[in-house]
Amino acid sequence: KNQVEQSPQSLIILEGKNCTLQCNYTVSPFSNLRWYKQDTGRGPVSLTIMTFSENTKSNGRYTATLDADTKQSSLHITASQLSDSASYICVVTSGSARQLTFGSGTQLTVLP
């Protein structure tokens, strides 16, 4: 059964600090992995996509990594801001475009 597990479940950090969110998956065959950011009361928005051949990809202060051998991905947030407070959801696509497996998300709170 395809599964995506995220850790930690929740995280509280101070503004300006860095943090790393983890995503482990057992999805086969692997197509791609996306990180979504979901602000409170809003729909999820894609931050980045990782394909099999990509190890690292940056989007501003967000850097995603992918290790296809260990089936792990991480999302590193640098110099956190209050606006980074949100739920971060890891989504893995397998086989066809429509087989999506969602993680349960990491709730990040950035305090001033």
Name the nearest CA neighbour of 12 among 82, 62, 64, 102. 82
Q: Hey, which residues between 30 and 89 contact another protein (CB under 8 A)? A: 31-32, 34, 36, 41-46, 49, 51, 89
Minimum gap (Å) between residue 34 Cβ and another protein: 7
Q: Which residues contact 30 (CB under 8 A, 6 or more apart)?
A: 52, 68, 71, 92, 93, 94
Beta carbon nearer to another protein, 80 or 88 = 88
Other CB atoms within a 10 A radius of the CB of residue 104 amount to 13
Q: Which residues bind another protein (CB under 8 A)?
A: 31-32, 34, 36, 41-46, 49, 51, 89, 91, 93, 96-98, 100, 102-105
